[in-house]
Structure 1
Amino acid sequence: MNLLVDFGNTRLKWAIWTGGKRSMGGVFAHADTSLETALSANWSALQRPQEILVASVVKPEREQELATLVESLFNQEASFVRSPRAALGVTNAYRSDPARLGVDRFLALAALHADKPRAQILISCGTALTLDALAADGNHLGGLIAPSPMLMRQSLGRATAQVGESQGTLVDIASNTIDAAWSGCLLAAVALVERFRETVSRRLDTDVAMVGDGGGLDEWLPLMPDVERGRDLVLRGLALWAAEESS
């Protein structure tokens, strides 16, 4: 069995994969939590994994905290995956420095490509909103990074005196500050996605599918009903990586 960990900016997700199937797992927000406290209760009961693979986008000191915990619990090292030039049928657009592409983005693209090779856009919405374009042959064209609607609202709340983070109602033209901020941040994200889709569609000269993943996606997914909902794409990509290594 393999222990797979998706260590994001806001949440840590983990799963056990055996024989190509997920058997158990969990997720929690880790920003203000000790990893040892959050994970020891679950992981201490696990059998020693064959391999522990981590996709991380957090700071090095946070990675070290996880590495130390893994060493103490399983007496083995965690393997932190970095984005390669090419793997799993996907060619990285970051040619000169492939590791600079967030490994979560690369692995999610690999999962999408393995599931259905086609022209498609990956929308990932957590702390950040990332967009990545993938051709049917697995060539990654590149992407964009912007604040998620949640991060936009937090920034407004910190930088302005009278615009907070309160939940509002989505409207096209707002008549109060709460709805104006709530709607503006959501619609800004949608406008960026729509523009990106038009650009990618023109470049590839074909219709482009869109798949979204991430905890921040659900609040604005109803605005784009043609976006397919992805699930656990990073963990699925890690499972593919583990299978490739074992073969």
Structure 2
Amino acid sequence: MNLLIDFGNTRLKWALWTNGRHSLGGVFAHADTSLEAALSANWSALQRPRGIFVASVVTRDRERELGELVENHFHEEARFVRSPAAALGVRNAYREDPARLGVDRFLALAALHAENPRAQILVSCGTALTLDAIAADGTHLGGLIAPSPMLMRQSLGRGTAQVGEGQGRLVEIAANTDDAAWSGCQLAAVALVERFRNTVSSQLGVHVAIVGDGGGLDEWLPLMPEIERGRDLVMRGLALWAEQDGVR
């Protein structure tokens, strides 16, 4: 049994994996809560796992905090995964400094490629919107990073007096401020994905599938019905990593 932890910008997800299956897990927003209290509540009844693997995009200080809590609770050291030059059938496009590719992006691509090796784009929408392209042979072509629609709206709210704070409706042409801000941020994300797909398709000369993951995707998914819905790709990639680690 491995304990897998996806330590994102906003939320911490954890899951127990045994023989390739997810048996138990949880998720909570960690920005405004005590990490120690939340983890104690989540892990109070857990037995000591065989291994503890973490995919993290937070600061090193926050990682150290998690590492100390894990060691105190389980008397086991957490293994923080970093993006390698190549692993799990994927070759990292960040050749000069592979670890600079967010490990969440690498692991999600690895899970996607393991499940269905083909030319495809991974769209992940959480706090940030990330796009990554991968060829059928596992070559990561690179990607883009932008604010998610949620982050765009928050930026509008901070930078203006009356824009971006209200709930709006998704429309093509808006007749009020709330709808204009809401729709503008959603449509900006869609336009970026469509442009990226066109560029990748031209480069590879083949049809490119699009797979989306992340909680922020749902609000604009109706605009791109061709997007296939991925689920827990980072965690599934982390499970593959843990399995590989176990046979070294």
TM-score range, shorter chain: over 0.9
Q: Structure 1: 5+ residue runs without aligned partners?
A: none
Distance 1:155 1:50 in 2: 43
Distance 1:70 1:245 in 2: 19
The amino acid of 2:194's aligned partner reads E
Query: What fraction of aligned residue pairs are identical, expressed as a percent?
Result: 79
Cross-structure match for 1:213: 213
Distance 1:57 1:217 in 2: 19
Q: Compare 191-200 and 156-165 and name the one that shifted more.
A: 156-165
Match of 2:235, SS?
helix
Distance 2:67 2:89 in 1: 29
Alignment of 1:52-63 (within 5 A): 52-63=52-63
Distance 2:34 2:133 in 1: 36
Alignment of 1:21-170 (within 5 A): 21-170=21-170
Deviation of 1:194 (Å): 0.2
Q: Compare 215-224 and 160-169 and name the one that shifted more.
A: 160-169
TM value normalised by structure 2: 0.98
Write out per-residue CA displacement over residues 204-247 of structure 1, whole angstroms, 9 at most, x where no aligned residue: 10000011111111000111001011111001001100111112
Match of 1:216, SS?
helix
Write out per-residue CA displacement over residues 139-190 of structure 1, whole angstroms, 9 at most, x where no aligned residue: 0000000000000000000001121321101111111111100000000000
Deviation of 1:37 (Å): 1.0
Write out per-residue CA displacement over residues 38-63 of structure 1, whole angstroms, 9 at most, x where no aligned residue: 11122121111110000000011111
CA RMSD of aligned residues (A): 0.7
Distance 1:48 1:170 in 2: 47
Deviation of 1:35 (Å): 1.1
Cross-structure match for 2:224: 224
The amino acid of 1:27's aligned partner reads V
- Alpha-carbon contact 2:111-2:234 (below 8 Å) kept: yes
- Alpha-carbon contact 2:125-2:148 (below 8 Å) kept: yes
Match of 1:54, SS?
strand
TM value normalised by structure 1: 0.99
Match of 2:40, SS?
helix
Cross-structure match for 1:234: 234
Cross-structure match for 1:177: 177
Deviation of 1:133 (Å): 0.1
- Alpha-carbon contact 2:83-2:103 (below 8 Å) kept: yes
Q: Structure 2: 5+ residue runs without aligned partners?
A: none
Distance 1:165 1:111 in 2: 36
- Alpha-carbon contact 2:164-2:182 (below 8 Å) kept: no
Match of 1:207, SS?
coil
Q: Compare 190-199 and 57-66 and name the one that shifted more.
A: 57-66
Distance 1:165 1:201 in 2: 37
Distance 2:165 2:103 in 1: 30
